Amino acid sequence: MLREIVGSTKIDMQLREYAALILAMNNGPNALSELSILESEGSWYAGEISKHIKEYGGVNPYA
């Protein structure tokens, strides 16, 4: 479901970014393709999440 939200251009970008963050928290490097799509559509936030995953292997905003 999260992948569908991230990939839907009918949904507001901010909600797609939230879904991407949750996806990245649960799937780490396996979320990079979805993050790349958002980044190519203008999301700087997705780019920052991608950088963090590449550097640390995952993302956890609660750590």
- Domain segments of the chain: what residues? 2-56
Residue 19 CB neighbour total at 10 angstroms: 21
Amino acid 19: pLDDT: 98
pLDDT band at 63 (very low <50, low <70, confident <90, very high): confident
8: helix, strand or coil: coil
Residue 5 CB neighbour total at 10 angstroms: 18
Question: How confident is the model over 1-54, as pLDDT tens digits?
Answer: 999 999 999 999 999 999 999 999 999 999 999 999 999 999 999 999 999 999
Q: Global pTM?
A: 0.92
